Amino acid sequence: MFQVVWVIAVGFAAKGLAWPGVAAALTFAAIHFLFMTRTRAADLRIVAVAMVLGFLLDSVIAWLGWLQYAAPEPATWLAPWWIMALWLAFSLTLNHSMSWLQGKPALAIAFGAIGGPLVFYFASHFWGAVVVPDPAWRGYGALAVEWALMTPLLLYVGSSALLRRTGALT
């Protein structure tokens, strides 16, 4: 379902529309929480952290001018709604299809550092949803650092060991 959300969000953003990606992500989240997950507390915790930190970090990168988003609502210097939709959808994969990364911080760092910029490369070069201005190393480098930090952090936030320690495990 994440890949479907990604294609909808990126494809429509490239055409200047953010709302289809938001609608797809919210639909995915509703189905996920109503029918698919047994780890609601962990998933909600990951979503909350991903949405806040993802918004802040992607907004800083946009504000610096290292990325320019198609469909830039609410403002060109903030992370757009469709990017936030992708953070929502991505965060819901971490305790499920991406759970193989749990407990492997070095692998999660490498996965984020390579995968994050690579996904933006595809969104830029094949879809036109993002522009990475020259020198491109700044934008892709910032994305590599962001995703190298966020991927293991979000996996940790949702880990059952952390939730047991805080009493939030359901």
Residue 129 above 90 pLDDT?
A: yes
Would the pLDDT of 132 be above 50?
A: yes
Dist. CA 24–CA 108, nearest whole Å: 26
Average pLDDT of the residues of the chain: 93
- For the whole model, what pTM was predicted? 0.91
Report whether 60 contacts 52 (CB < 8 A). no
Q: Which residues contact 69 (CB under 8 A, 6 or more apart)?
A: 13, 62, 76, 79, 80, 82, 83, 129, 130, 131
What digits encode the pLDDT tens for the residues 82-92?
A: 999 999 999 99
